[in-house]
Structure formats: structure tokens, C-alpha cells
Amino acid sequence: MQTPIFLALAATVVALTGCASTSSTTPDGARKETCKPTSEKEIAALFDRWNNSLQTGDPHKVVENYAERSILLSALSNQPRLTAAEKEEYFRAFLKTKPMGRIDSRFIEIDCNTAVDAGFYTFTFASTGIQAKARYTFTYKWDGMQWLITSQHSSGMPGKD
């Protein structure tokens, strides 16, 4: 009599454990990743999150948007920024201009736990009133808790069609 109850309990525990998992194993033993459901709206909001962190004036808050393994390729610097310290150094100077970004047009591509947001944006620098148009690409990766930037590339407009 206790055996069917034990088996039912064991089956329930196994089923619940499977529900909590973010990856599974295929019949050949390979791990299969579970993709986080997302939308273009959610990915577009990641730029807003980054842009809002610029408004804090705190380079550390900006760098919190980046994955540990990520690269920043800015239109304003010839140096690729790979470490958090290098990114903070860049943003420490950049934030002095009081930048505010606005997306002019974009293209978003979504895959399993990764996304790309690329297009054109305009920055207004409150410290000078100057506006600068540029091309951009942000790549993102879901780390199991949040979307983080894995690469950011900006380049000035060439001035030609």
C-alpha cells in the first residue's frame, strides 16, 4: 500500500524539479538550453534602461548594464573597452557631457537568449547643446536573471547616402 503512494510522491517531486529547470538533457546526454521568451518591446526597453543610467551621472551604474565578458567600441574612442574598469573610465569622461540618447530608427533581431538592436540614434549633449547622429549596435544576452549588453558599437555618420 505504501509503495504506490511513495511512487506517486517520487513522480511529483521529479515533475516539479523538471519545471524549475532552465535547461534539460537530450537523449544523447547533451544539455538543451531553455530560451527566455521576449519581445521587440522588451529588447527596445533595454536602450531606455541604458540611457536612463546615463542620466544618473554615475559611470558604475552605466557599466552595470554590461555583461562581465563584453566589449564597448565607442565612436569617441579608439580604445576597445573590455573590462568594467575600462568602461567606467570611458563613461566617467563621457558623462561629463550630460548625454541623452534618442533612437531615430532601429532593427531588432531576437534569438534564443540573445538579441541585437541596431540602427541610428542622436545624442544631445546638455553641457554644450551639440547634437550628434551616429549608427549603433547593441548585442544582448540573457544571463538567467536579466538582459546584459555583450557588445556595443557606435560610429559617426559618414555624411553620404
User: Identity (one letter) of the amino acid at 151?
Assistant: S
pLDDT at 6: 35
Task: Choose the weakest-confidence range: 8-12, 24-28, 103-107.
Answer: 8-12
CB of 69 within 8 A of CB of 150? yes
CA pair distance 149, 81, nearest whole angstrom? 13
pLDDT at 15: 33
Q: Give the CATH fold of the 40-156 domain.
A: Nuclear Transport Factor 2; Chain: A, (3.10.450)
Annotate the chain with DSSP letters as a single string. -HHHHHHHHHHHHHHHHHHH-SEEE-TTS-EEEPPPP--HHHHHHHHHHHHHHHHTT-HHHHHTTEEEEEEEE-TT-SS-B-SHHHHHHHHHHHGGG-EEEEEEEEEEEEETTEEEEEEEEEEEETTTTEEEEEEEEEEEEE-SSSEEEEEEEEEE--S--
Mean pLDDT calculated for residue range 16-38: 63
Task: Write down the pTM of the prediction.
Answer: 0.80
Buried b (16+ CB within 10 A) or exposed e, 15-35: eeeeeeeeeeeeeeeeeeeee
Average pLDDT, the chain: 86
Tens digit of each residue's pLDDT (9 = 90 or more) over 134-157:
999 999 999 999 999 999 999 999
Residue 81, all three cell numbers: 573597452
Tens digit of each residue's pLDDT (9 = 90 or more) over 77-102:
999 999 999 999 999 999 999 999 99
